Amino acid sequence: MPSSYRALKALFLLCALVAGLLIAHAAELVPPSQRWKITSVRVCKDNRGHLYQHLEALGHFPVYSFFIPRPVWTVNGVVVEAQPLYERGSLIGFRLFGGAKALNAGTKNTVKLSLPDQNASMAFRYDQNKPPPGECYDYF
């Protein structure tokens, strides 16, 4: 009986080790075609030249089920609420509410998403003169 107990314990520890390694390397297990990628950040101004309070993170966000993961979005380290954006039934981006308040003019800004199995980010230099009033500008 003691030898079977030790074998069972060893098997359990081996399974726990394998599970831990799989969780630690989950991002590497996501095929490149299924990884989320931010390709641009859209900043818009109203007709009076005031910056809209939201940003739009656009990119490649493959979803292969009716369940859409809820990533944690940050703008320069500040967590922001996000709403999915769709075009012709496809998820094309996320509206990041309050994200414009976290922008720093003339310096590097970072928009990041975090999912349990992957992360993505995009850095850009925000120019407060872009876009002109009443328009949007995409930072690539």
* Type of residue numbered 41: V
pLDDT attached to residue 31: 74
pLDDT attached to residue 32: 76
| pLDDT for 13 beyond 90 | no
pLDDT attached to residue 27: 47
| pLDDT for 48 beyond 80 | yes
**Residues of the chain above pLDDT 70, percent:** 80
CATH tag, 31-139: 2.60.40
- What does the chain look like in DSSP terms, one character per residue? -HHHHHHHHHHHHHHHHHHHHHHHTHHHHS-GGGS-EEEEEEEEB-TTSPBPSEEEEEEE----SS-----EEEETTEEEEEEEEEETTEEEEEEEETGGGG--TTSEEEEEEEETTEEEEEEEE--TT-SPTT-EEEE-
pLDDT attached to residue 120: 96
Write down the domain spans for the chain.
1-29, 31-139
